[in-house]
A and B are shown apart, each in its own frame.
Chain A
Amino acid sequence: MLAENIWRLDNKPPPDRGEEPIVFVEKLKNAMRLTALSRGAIALGLTPNLTLADARARVPELIALDRDHEAEARLLAQIVAGCVRYTPMVAAEPPDGAILDISGCAHGFGGETGLRADLVRRLKTSGITAFCALGDTPEQARALARFGHKSRDLLGLPVEALEADAAVTLALRRAGLKTIDDLARRPRKMLAARFGDLAIRLGRLLGEQDRHISPERPRPPIFALRRFAEPIARIEDALACLEDLGCEAAQTLLERHEGGRRFVARFFRSDGAILPLEVATGHPTRDPALLIRLFRERVDVLSDPIDPGFGFDMIRLDIGQCETLVARQDDHLAPSRHEEDLAELIDRLSVRLGARRVHRVRPENTHIPECAATACAPSNAPTWEGAPEGEPPMRPLRLFDPPQPVGAVMSEVPDGPPMRFTWRGKSYAVARWEGPERIAAEWWRRRDRGGKPRDYYRVEDAAGHRFWLFRHGLHETGGAPPGWYLHGLFA
């Protein structure tokens, strides 16, 4: 169901096209099988676990999509986070459910049914189809939501609502026990002897036993602070104290299997001023030594040095952003000397120069040369396509942005290559050339159709300098001749 919702959220089909047969397929045991179906597909009689080939044979107009479990998990997490408006006790039930413990919370929404109606309405407006049910225990609500489409009566539910093993369910069916009512009439001891935990499941479903849910709760922020009886005035002492705080915070991070990405140290001066210092790392870390190195770098590059005044009476270290960092065992055979890796180098440079001055580049999906690459954070690993074999470089090594106008261009009218041009006061005679390579403006992106097309030429002069020139626009009768620009230089 979530799979269909994601597709609908992404594609926004027109409302009149109601129920297309969409199926989501996965490769299970070397066969593409249907694992999630849209309502339209269910209405046509398709069922989960069918192979895609069979389904296509039955419904040729089928739309088959790959199932994206990660996107479903993300959507579920969003839903769970949104449900905190009703109750703090919300737990996700992967893959596609959520349980809310609304004991004592419903009066703000007009009772339990009012809360349910509000939840359904909110989910519907955000494009999510949901089945909601109220129950005394989590299992009861779950069974009613999943199996209670036909009857809202708990005892009328089929035995599948117990969600026991397939073998157990089959055995129950064979014994003629088809509904919860059939089971509830039997003595429990007999069921426990024959089917193990089925009796417990039944008890929970009927509301005789209650299992409390373990809700998702935001974790408290991590911080460490130290107060001093007497203010300390030396920066070195303050940094040493910060290192201790780093060790404390690292212990908490280790217990939570997390590492920090952003660290803020605040020095509280005795006259009330607060001096904040912030460092960020590219990867989560909980190494106090690394942290203190970064803070020292930060202190070194401050435009005006820290003024301790009459001393600091409190130092506090906050961890602004945490990410999962699983503990890793060191290789005891590897040399123990610590070698700085690239991530640490990047962190050091970013702290000193500023994060914007250290970057990698990422390709962009555009033909416009000056937009083909953009800067991205150095922790990214973009993928670039290699150039085709057997071709000389078609793009320059240095690019001018904006392109530089060149003067005195001699070229054949209307669309000949440049034979001679002047750039920065020097005249160049073209000995070799190739072109034009026409790059049209991206008329589909911009309302003004993006301007004129450009005809690019790779040219080389007699001394072996290679240029990338373009003619901006076309010759038109009565108009001014198109301008020429130098856009880049080849190696």
Chain B
Amino acid sequence: MITLPVIDWTIVAQLLVVFGGATVLLLLDLAIPAGRKQVTAYLALLVVLGAAAVGVMHAGVSGATFGGTLRLDPFRTAVGLVCLAAAALSILLAVTFLGRHQIERGEFAVLVLFGVGGMLLLVQAADLVVMFLSLALLSITLYVLAGFALPEPRSEEAALKYLLTGAFATGFLVFGIALIYGATGSTTLATIAAAGPGLTGEYRLYAAAGLLLLVVGLGYKASLVPFHMWTPDVYDGAPTPVAAFMSVASKAAVLAALTHVLLVGFGELRALWAPILAVVAAATLLVGNIGALVQQNVKRMLAYSSIGQAGFLLFGPIAASDRGIDALVFYLAGYTAANLAAFAVLIALEARGETEWSMARLSGLWQRSPGLTLALALALLSLAGVPPTAGFIAKFAMLDAVWQAGYPALVVLGVVTSAIAAAYYLRVLLRAAGPAETDAPPMFGDWPLRLGMALAALAIVVLGLAPGWLLSFS
């Protein structure tokens, strides 16, 4: 008799809700007639909320199952909730957008569900093979979602670019896993960590090379410099709600996985990876923010700004402390709210057939819609790190964490690039406050979009004014 491992259902409950819901919804969607695909989206929203409820219920749970390949702890639960929140808001923002652009297919919501399931799995993974599998799952759904505006050539181009470069990056990841397995004889992070101190000579070299290849593979997904080239093109070409979803949720999941690999699996090699990551973070901050400064297209500007934000997110693993982890979760939550609010404003102003998102289209927004301008202002000020928004507390916590960890140069660079960032965020706001330059684009204000935007804006303010309840979770 072969004994099967005992499964701890509390740890996999959230995954079961998401994947089970997605699978059932895939079948249900077949019975929903073409004009009423919004029903699928709302059902998907229910699934996401259910999974979030399970996550909140298990907030304090720590443990592992499936032979230690899946793990749950407060950090993982928190990042998972950020991913679910991003998915829920993205669905709300997309519901009417899809109909407006005549790409209303039920698969959208199902793909978002499978994607967020992949993200939860990536966050919970404590094993390199599970990480690879979940990364593949979330990547494939995002490739399809990037090309979701199918007859639109820009969307197809974005999907193809993302797929080709993504496949290339995955190659690095697999090779890294193979080298680590060769050196340590295991793919489970805890076993790799235990084998770490015993490694000598070539074996140590192989493990180190494997780790760096892993950083390349994961860094691609998180759009760290120098693996960021795809980001502006893909965000620009993909349907706007999809760009919003992947700019926040996949970044959160990948950063969590990277943190686990570095701190749990290779904590012992910190002297090797910490300086390398510090250089990568510095390059990411500089390239992202200086790149955003010269953009005339708002979507490309947001893409470069998301690269810059990824540099800040990297401070969490570099600090390698509880303080850094807390700051990472808070930063992810604040960044998710702010970026989704900013994209929501773009979605509210995007009619069918608009392909170029020139900055001139935002000019004069204040006179036409103070509400949209307020949401945009909150989002951009939070991304820039202006008090009293969530972004200020997040940046402050991150800088504090790397300062404590002994990287004063990174702190200086973080402050300087935040100042650069403020310049291009404020340029957009000045346009919005100024007079109209072109024919005013049509505005759309249906309730799901308004609700999504309001929730994101509310989160920015609440996290900024009362950060305590999220900062003290660990």
Answer whether A and B are interacting partners.
Answer: no
